[in-house]
C-alpha cells in the first residue's frame, strides 16, 4: 500500500480505549447527532446545521479515524460538487420553469383547469392534493405541492386545517421521484448503485402506496360510507397514477428508454386526464360540497427549504412579499377557459417532457452506467459528460478487510454530465418557454431573481448534506455505523424504511435523507446478507439486498415528508394558520408512522418471502 493510500477501520479506537467498538460507534454517529441537535433543539437554518454536521464529520475523520486532512477536505468537496450538479442544477431549473408559468399567468389557468373538473369535495381533494400535487412534486418539489395545493383547496371552500392535513398526507408516495428524480439521483450518487435498479425497486413499492393514499386522504375528511361511495373515482385517480408510476419507473428495464425523471410529472397529468374523462361518464350519487369557492389566498408562497429552523413569521413575510405576484395574475382568474388557453398554459411542461425524453435517448447511447465511463461524442472533442478524478481520493481509499477482503480501491470520480443531467433539459425548456410566452426583460429578471431567492436555502443545504455524507463514506464512519446496525439482524429490512423516515424528518427532504443514510444502508445490507443467521433466500444476491435496503431508505423516507418542519410550516403559511404547526403535526404524525411501517413491512416481505422476493431487481453492474 502506498503512503498516500488510506485504510479504513471499523473500530479506529481499538487498543486505545475500553469498549472501543461502542466508543467508535458513538464517534461515527457524532456528525448525525450534531445535525439533529442543531436542527431540532437549537432550530438553526438547515444550511447552517448541515455545515456544523460537515465540520464535525471532517474533524472526526481526521482525529479519530486518522484520515489525511487533504483527503477529508476533498471528500467534502466531492459531495458538495455532486450537490450542485446534477442535484442543485436540476431543482433550480425546475423551480425556474414553475416561476415562469406563475409570472406569465399560465399557472392560474392550470390551477383553474384542475379545480373545475369536479364539484365534489372528496374528488377535488384527490385531484388537487394528490394528482396535481404529484405533478408539482415532479416539476419543482421542495414543498411546492403543499403550498400551492393547500391554497387552492382553501379557495375552493375547504376548512384550512383540513386542507393542510390532506395536502401533507398526499405529498408522500410521489416524493421519491420529486424534482425530476432528485432523491434517486442522490441515492445512486452516495451508494454507487445503478440508478436504473433503484428506480425499478421504487417502482415495485410505491405504486401500492399510490393506490392507498387517495383513499386514505378521503377517509380523513368523511366517513367510511362516504369514502366507499366514490370508490370508482378513487380507483381511477390512484390506479392511473400508480400504473403510470410503475411503467415510467421500470420501462428502461423492458422498453429500452429511460423515463423515470418524468414519473411524477407524467403520472400527475395522466391521472388528471384519465379521471376527468371518467367523470364525464360517472358522478357520485350524492356530492359533498364545502360552500361557494372563496378567493384564492394571497399567502400561497413557493416554499423555501429552511424548514426545521423556519418560523411562522418567516413564511408570513414571504407570503406578503408575493402579494404583487397574485394581483398581477388576477386577470387570469376570470378569463374564460378554452382548449387553446389550457394547452398553452401546459406547454412549458410539455416542452420539458420532450427535452427530458431527448436527453433520455442520449443517455441510452452512453456506453456504460459507471460514473465517467460512458459518454457520447456530439462534436469534435466534445462529449456528453466528463469524468473528473478527485485529487488525493480516487482509488486511494480501501474499506476495512472485514467488508472487502479483496481490497478494491474506492472510486472518486465527479461526473460532469453537462448535457444529460435532467436540469439541462429543464433549462432548455425554460428558455423555450420564455420565447414562446413572449416574456420581456423585466419579467425574466423577476423570475430569475425569485428563483435565486427560493433556492438560497435548498441548494446549500443539499450541498452540505452531501458533503457530510461523502466524508462519512470515505472516512469509514458509515461502515462503523452500518456494522453496528447489522446487529438488528433479520429485522433490519423493516427498520431500513424507518431509518429513511427519520432522515426525512431530520433533513426535510428525501434527497437529504438519502445523502445522510444511503451509504450506511448499503453497508448494513451487505453485513446482514453475509451474516450466518441471514434469512435471505439462497438464490438472492448481495447486490439485490443492497438495492432493496437502499431503496427502502427513500420509499420509507417519503412517509416522513408530512411531518418535517419545512412541509408543516409551508402548509400553515399557505392556508393562513400560522401558529398551528403543533396541532397539524399531532394530526398527521400517526398517519406518517403507519404508512412508513407499511413500507417497512413491504420491504421485509420482499427481502425474505416468495414470491415477493422476485420483485427485487438484480443490478446490471455494481457501479452506477
Residue spans per domain, the chain: 1-73+117-316+452-624
Q: Which of 111-115, 152-156, 535-539 is the most confident on average? A: 535-539
Neighbouring residues of 400: CB distance < 8 A, sequence distance ≥ 6 = 7, 8, 9, 10, 476, 479
Say what the pLDDT of residue 330 is: 63
Cell numbers at 401, concatenated: 478487510
Under the banding of pLDDT at 50, 70 and 90, the label for residue 565 is low
pLDDT: is 458 or 191 the higher one? 191
CA distances 280 to 276, 389, 462, 606, Å, are 7, 57, 44, 39
Residue 506 has pLDDT above 90, yes or no: no
DSSP code at position 488: G
Under the banding of pLDDT at 50, 70 and 90, the label for residue 532 is confident
Cα 469 to chain centroid distance, Å, stands at 16
Q: How far apart are CA 173 and CA 176, in angstroms?
A: 7
pTM (two decimals): 0.77
Say what the pLDDT of residue 375 is: 65
Ordered DSSP codes for 567-599: HHHHHHHHTT-TT-HHHHHHHHHHHHHHHHHHH
pLDDT tens-digit readout, 82-115? 888 877 888 788 788 888 988 999 988 887 888 7
Average pLDDT over residues 27-53: 86
Say what the pLDDT of residue 142 is: 63
pLDDT: is 42 or 121 the higher one? 121
Say what the pLDDT of residue 549 is: 96
Residue 367 has pLDDT above 80, yes or no: no
Residue 621 has pLDDT above 70, yes or no: no
Say what the pLDDT of residue 363 is: 66
pLDDT: is 362 or 418 the higher one? 418
β-pair partners for 389:
413
User: Of 137, 140, 172, nearest to 268 (Cα)?
Assistant: 137
Q: Mapping DSSP to helix (H, G, I), strand (E, B) and coil, where does residue 389 land?
A: strand
Largest CA distance in the chain: 77
pLDDT tens-digit readout, 597-615? 999 999 999 999 999 999 9
Cell numbers at 619, concatenated: 443490478
**Residue-averaged pLDDT of the chain:** 84
Identify the weakest region by mean pLDDT among 254-258, 288-292, 497-501, 518-522: 288-292
Percent residues over pLDDT 90 in the chain: 45
Amino acid at each position: 500500500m502506498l503512503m498516500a493510500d488510506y485504510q479504513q477501520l471499523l473500530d479506529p479506537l481499538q487498543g486505545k480505549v475500553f469498549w472501543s467498538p461502542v466508543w467508535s460507534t458513538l464517534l461515527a454517529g457524532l456528525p448525525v447527532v450534531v445535525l439533529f441537535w442543531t436542527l431540532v433543539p437549537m432550530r438553526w437554518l438547515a444550511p447552517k446545521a448541515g455545515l456544523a454536521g460537515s465540520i464535525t464529520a471532517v474533524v472526526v475523520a481526521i482525529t479519530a479515524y486518522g484520515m489525511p486532512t487533504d483527503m477529508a477536505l476533498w471528500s467534502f468537496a466531492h459531495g458538495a460538487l455532486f450537490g450542485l450538479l446534477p442535484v442543485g442544477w436540476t431543482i433550480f431549473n425546475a423551480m425556474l420553469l414553475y416561476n415562469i408559468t406563475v409570472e406569465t399567468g399560465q399557472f392560474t389557468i392550470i390551477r383553474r383547469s384542475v379545480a373545475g373538473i369536479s364539484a365534489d369535495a372528496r374528488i377535488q381533494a384527490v385531484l388537487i392534493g394528490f394528482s396535481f400535487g404529484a405533478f408539482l412534486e415532479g416539476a419543482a418539489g421542495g414543498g411546492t405541492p403543499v403550498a400551492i395545493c393547500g391554497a387552492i383547496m382553501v379557495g375552493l371552500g375547504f376548512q384550512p386545517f383540513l386542507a393542510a392535513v390532506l395536502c401533507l398526507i398526499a405529498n408522500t408516495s410521489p416524493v421519491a421521484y420529486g424534482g425530476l428524480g432528485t432523491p434517486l439521483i442522490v441515492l445512486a450518487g452516495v451508494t454507487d448503485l445503478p440508478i436504473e435498479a433503484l428506480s425499478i425497486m421504487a417502482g415495485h413499492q410505491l405504486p401500492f402506496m399510490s393506490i392507498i393514499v387517495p383513499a386514505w386522504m378521503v377517509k380523513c375528511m368523511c366517513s367510511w360510507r362516504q369514502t366507499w361511495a366514490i370508490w370508482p373515482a378513487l380507483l381511477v385517480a390512484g390506479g392511473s397514477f400508480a400504473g403510470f408510476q410503475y411503467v415510467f419507473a421500470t420501462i428502461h428495464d423492458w422498453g429500452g428508454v429511460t423515463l423515470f425523471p418524468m414519473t411524477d410529472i407524467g403520472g400527475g397529468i395522466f391521472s388528471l386526464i384519465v379521471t376527468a374523462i371518467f367523470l364525464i361518464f360517472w358522478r357520485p350519487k350524492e356530492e359533498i360540497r364545502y360552500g361557494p369557492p372563496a378567493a384564492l389566498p394571497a399567502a400561497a408562497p413557493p416554499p423555501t427549504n429552511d424548514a426545521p429552523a423556519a418560523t411562522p413569521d418567516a413564511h408570513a413575510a414571504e407570503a406578503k412579499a408575493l402579494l404583487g405576484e397574485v394581483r398581477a395574475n388576477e386577470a387570469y382568474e376570470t378569463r374564460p377557459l378554452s382548449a387553446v388557453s389550457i394547452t398553452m398554459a401546459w406547454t412549458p411542461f410539455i416542452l420539458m417532457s420532450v427535452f427530458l425524453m431527448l436527453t433520455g435517448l442520449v443517455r441510452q447511447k452512453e456506453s456504460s452506467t459507471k460514473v465517467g465511463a460512458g459518454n457520447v461524442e456530439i462534436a469534435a472533442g466534445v462529449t456528453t459528460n466528463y469524468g473528473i478524478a478527485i485529487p488525493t481520493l480516487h482509488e486511494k481509499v480501501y474499506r476495512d478487510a472485514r467488508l472487502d477482503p479483496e481490497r478494491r480501491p474506492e472510486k472518486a470520480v465527479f461526473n460532469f454530465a453537462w448535457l444529460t443531467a435532467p436540469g439541462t433539459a429543464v433549462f432548455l425548456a425554460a428558455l423555450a418557454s420564455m420565447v414562446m410566452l413572449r416574456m420581456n426583460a423585466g419579467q425574466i429578471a423577476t423570475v430569475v431573481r425569485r428563483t435565486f431567492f427560493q433556492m438560497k436555502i435548498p441548494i446549500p443545504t443539499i450541498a452540505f448534506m452531501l458533503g457530510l455524507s461523502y466524508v462519512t463514506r470515505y472516512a469509514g464512519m458509515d461502515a462503523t455505523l452500518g456494522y453496528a446496525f447489522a446487529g438488528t439482524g433479520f429485522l433490519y429490512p423493516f427498520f431500513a424504511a424507518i431509518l429513511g423516515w427519520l432522515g426525512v424528518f431530520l433533513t426535510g427532504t428525501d434527497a437529504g435523507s438519502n445523502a445522510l443514510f444511503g451509504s450506511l444502508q448499503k453497508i448494513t445490507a451487505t453485513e446482514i446478507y453475509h451474516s450466518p443467521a441471514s434469512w435471505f433466500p439462497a438464490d438472492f444476491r448481495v447486490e439485490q439486498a443492497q438495492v432493496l435496503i437502499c431503496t427502502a431508505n427513500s420509499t420509507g423516507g417519503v412517509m416522513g415528508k408530512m411531518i418535517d418542519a419545512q412541509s408543516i410550516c409551508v402548509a400553515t403559511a399557505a392556508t393562513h394558520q400560522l401558529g398551528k404547526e403543533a396541532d397539524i403535526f399531532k394530526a398527521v404524525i400517526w398517519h406518517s408512522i403507519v404508512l412508513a411501517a407499511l413500507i417497512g413491512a413491504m420491504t421485509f416481505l420482499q427481502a425474505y418471502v416468495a414470491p415477493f422476493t422476485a420483485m427485487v431487481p438484480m443490478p446490471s453492474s455494481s457501479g452506477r
